[in-house]
A and B are shown apart, each in its own frame.
Chain A
């Protein structure tokens, strides 16, 4: 698995191992794209929240966005600029120091901060009873009634609610709020941290958050999806089955992929499109050769042409999709290329400067081919998780418990569901919590969730 979300063969991986650096998160984004495909218009904000970090990535039209550079090992609180810049094709994602283990504390001006410091799994949140004394996001989620202390992590963790409450009370004393308000505060602040990061990220892409459905995975993702979606103004949350461990599936659904890039420095007003065509041909031949070595049929391969372009004099490039070749010497080709760049530029920045020539600094090709055969079944769509079609019999309602919702100004009795017993077509009305082994989906008042045939729970926000 490459960082770009494609598979490759061993020789290529050996030649440039750096291309695999971000393969784990890439698998997660692919899984999200796969799960969300049937129940959205393909526009997803993939939101994965685990114990120490949250990851967010955009999926447009069913495909995770690709970035052409990223920073590894950020030193300073996940801040941009504090990591090692690496120029490879990678699934675009942002990482925030926000997870179930993130510690809440009061800063020098008395504000409640959550993360990026994390209790990790040892000592872990106070509620794990392993010696942790600082209040974490998970502790707050217990106190708010979102998580079930009796069956946390499938009952494997004995939850110490007294320790969680004590940790939250200490913090509450420092900010002069009730323990409940502090618990809600921790939940809300960590949601805002994630939503703010998502806003800046989405803006950088020139997109509107309201066009996206939030696809939540990871242990804490489904617990926080309701709040994050609310803050971003999203209308839909999608929670795939076994959301706690969904990333691994991405490895099974990935296509084979080869990326190549070359610096050309071609100006559209001055240079011939034929030069561009020649440069693309060279890259494509190289990429196809690697693809052939992977043992795939080249007939099934698709080729995307892209370019890093700018208006002459600008200091940044925008990577845009170009029309298919071949490009001829005539005005027609030049016009098509200009239009492709200007359209993409306008989409992102709303305006284009008048009368400035366009320059393509780099060109890129992405050759992809579906991996057929054993791992996958005949088509990608067949990889629905089989066990979820065998619904256990009996009612899915396990009972009720009090859960806190800001919309209701306090705790309200919420229906507790067992996800394993929900069948396609079933409807769940909020306030509710849907429990399964790896995670818990929280649905606020006014929310309606439907179990789709894909097995996804699709929540519509009011």
Chain B
């Protein structure tokens, strides 16, 4: 390897590679039709070398995509063969096992050639406004109910668009213009990365990106190994129950630190379910890796090397490693518990570095109906609970974790769907008490103004088992969903008539440390801000 890749050259090249993926991310945000991309950040841009190893991922990307896009690139290389790829090919798939864990995310890849050699892949994945099938129905028993499955395929064959593929996609989704519009937005972001990478290689006289990758990965790997080595060896166990479907689900982790490696073993967690909440291995890995890096190596930009010392195991056929054709669309419902398991286990050995339970998984309301002009539409609104307290401060209110998916703004939601928001406000008393208090959840009251019925699916968690506190902190407040004042079974689809009102109450985060040790000024501040409830109040809808 050349002496050129010293601390300076490497830094300069890496900065430039990151600016390439960030530039592509800007392009996606600005051109996509779906609010999932342009408001909620539910997409990723990655640049890999010719072997499918990720050099950089865009800065604002969500953790679910850690490692998934490069893995998809490698599946394509394996299945289609690198030698079959042409400079103007565009590849596409939404396979849940080879992609991001559900078919809503469509991954689009482009092989990048420089001086007639395959040197890199640009890859983007984006959550589609719709991919067909039942609307995020948790009742789905098999993936076939969850929409259109695009296997590893070519969307563009050396410059020629595959019209059959486009027609097939359009015919299978409720929002053909928006879904295809978003896919084309991805294609243009991929092409932007291609142009930038080729310019970069020209500027620095590089004929491949492997050397850059090798150096970057080995340095990152060393840093992660060092960080792991600083954690005492041992096997640390943790677990909890969650809402489940009918019966609660069990989640278990045995986290083993041995020298400079970490193994997260989820044996003992519930078996795979005939419901759309199974979390494929790629997602389980992404969530584990994310939690480990948050605690041990938070400052370093994502890349392949830093996750080499992290191993993840879960029995095949379990809820965190389901077999095909399990239904998976709401995998966040289970997958978002994974980082909480990792942190809980690490609390046994490095208690001062972890956060208490979070009011996650992410909440979502999916609706589908028809507009005045008779055209079908679907939208997804996101909501978040409070974050857990840490050993040094209170949890943040209403913030997405482990996924940085923004809550949908009221203004956007009201424009996109015939809904009226009566209020959206912090919920006093929902943060778990402790030396440091958990973040607050939120109350949102929504009314349907649609003349036609709206089919509503809810993604809600922690309505039966709260976000646990740590080190003596109290658990956060439970979440709750009501229609016209009556608590609903949030695992079923519901139909909203005009005037029906949905009350969404997201859960609070857990507290850290005993409440008795809470600072007096913090107690006074909570009172002044109205963060604590005065006495018990019955849940009731209030007019603003």
Tell me if B22 and A193 are in contact (CB < 8 A). Answer: no
Residue from B33, B222, B300 having most chain A Cβ neighbours under 10 A:
B33
Cα distance A199–B193 in the bound complex, in angstroms = 13
Task: Flag whether B487 is at the interface (Cβ < 8 A).
Answer: no
Q: A316-B29, A349-B31 are in contact. Are A111 and B7 (CB under 8 A)?
A: yes
Contact pattern, B 3-45, Cβ under 8 Å of A = 1, otherwise 0: 0001110111011101100110011011111110111000000
In the bound assembly, the distance between CA atoms of A186 and B223 in angstroms comes to: 22
How many B residues face the partner with a CB closer than 8 A? 42
Q: Mark A168-208, 1 if CB is under 8 A from B, else 0.
A: 00000001110001101100110011001101100110000
Q: Which residues of chain A from 138 to 182 have a CB within 8 Å of any chain B CB? A: 175-177, 181-182
Tell whether A108 pairs with B8 under 8 Å between CB atoms, given A196-B19, A348-B30, A350-B188.
no
Q: How far is the CA of A359 from the CA of B475 in the complex (A)?
A: 47
CB distance from A192 to the nearest CB of B (A): 5
Compute how far the CA of A112 lies from the CA of B38 in the bound complex, rounded to whole angstroms: 34
List residues of chain A with CB within 8 A of the CB of B35: 315
Does the CB pair A189–B26 fall under 8 Å?
Answer: no
Chain B nearest Cβ from A330, distance in angstroms: 25
Residue with the highest number of chain A CB atoms closer than 10 Å, among B7, B19, B297, B299:
B7
Given the complex of chains A and B, what is the CA–CA distance between A351 and B188 in angstroms?
A: 9
B378 at the interface (CB under 8 A from A): no
A462 CB within 8 Å of chain B? no
Q: Which chain B residue lies CB-closest to A199?
A: B19
A386 to chain B, nearest CB (A): 42
Q: Is the CB of B300 within 8 A of A315?
A: no
Which residues of chain B are within 8 angstroms of A111 by Cβ–Cβ distance?
7, 10-11, 14, 219
B499 at the interface (CB under 8 A from A): no
Is B267's beta carbon under 8 Å from chain A?
A: no
With both beta carbons as reference points, the residue of chain B lying nearest to A317 in the complex is identified as: B30
A408 interface hit (Cβ, 8 Å): no
Chain B positions within 8 Å of A314 at CB level? 31-33, 38
B30 to A189, Cβ gap below 8 A?
Answer: no
Q: Which residues of A contact B8 (CB under 8 A)?
A: 112, 175, 177, 181-182, 184-185, 188-189
B451-472 interface bits toward A, Cβ cutoff 8 Å, 1 = contact, 0 = none:
0000000000000000000000
- Shortest Cβ distance from B162 into chain A, in angstroms? 18
Which residues of B lie under 8 Å from residue A107 when comparing CB positions? Answer: 299-300
Interface centre among B14, B19, B27, B32 (most CB of A within 10 A): B19
Interchain CB contact (< 8 A) of A196 among B16, B37, B181: B16
From B34, B178, B184, B222, contact of A109 by CB (8 A): B222
Verify if B248 is at the interface (C-beta below 8 Å from A): no
Highest count of chain B CB atoms <10 Å: which of A185, A200, A204, A318: A200
Partner of A108, one of B39, B59, B178, B299: B299
Q: Which residue of chain B lies nearest to A311 when distances are taken between CB atoms in the complex?
A: B33
Residues of chain B contacted by A332 (CB below 8 angstroms): none
Give B contacts to A, CB under 8 Å.
6-8, 10-12, 14-16, 18-19, 22-23, 26-27, 29-35, 37-39, 59-60, 177-178, 181, 184, 188, 192, 216, 219-220, 222-223, 297, 299-300, 412
Q: A108-B299, A111-B7, A196-B19 are in contact. List 15 more A-B contacts (CB 8 A).
A: A80-B60, A108-B297, A109-B222, A109-B223, A112-B7, A112-B11, A177-B7, A185-B6, A196-B16, A311-B33, A314-B38, A315-B32, A315-B35, A315-B38, A315-B412
Q: Sample 22 A-B pairs with CB under 8 A, ordered by A number.
A: A79-B59, A108-B299, A108-B300, A109-B219, A111-B219, A112-B8, A175-B7, A175-B8, A184-B8, A192-B12, A192-B15, A193-B15, A197-B19, A199-B19, A204-B30, A315-B35, A315-B37, A315-B38, A315-B412, A316-B30, A318-B30, A356-B177
A-B pairs with lowest CB-CB distance, top 10: A185-B8, A315-B38, A196-B19, A109-B219, A175-B7, A111-B11, A112-B7, A192-B12, A203-B23, A109-B223
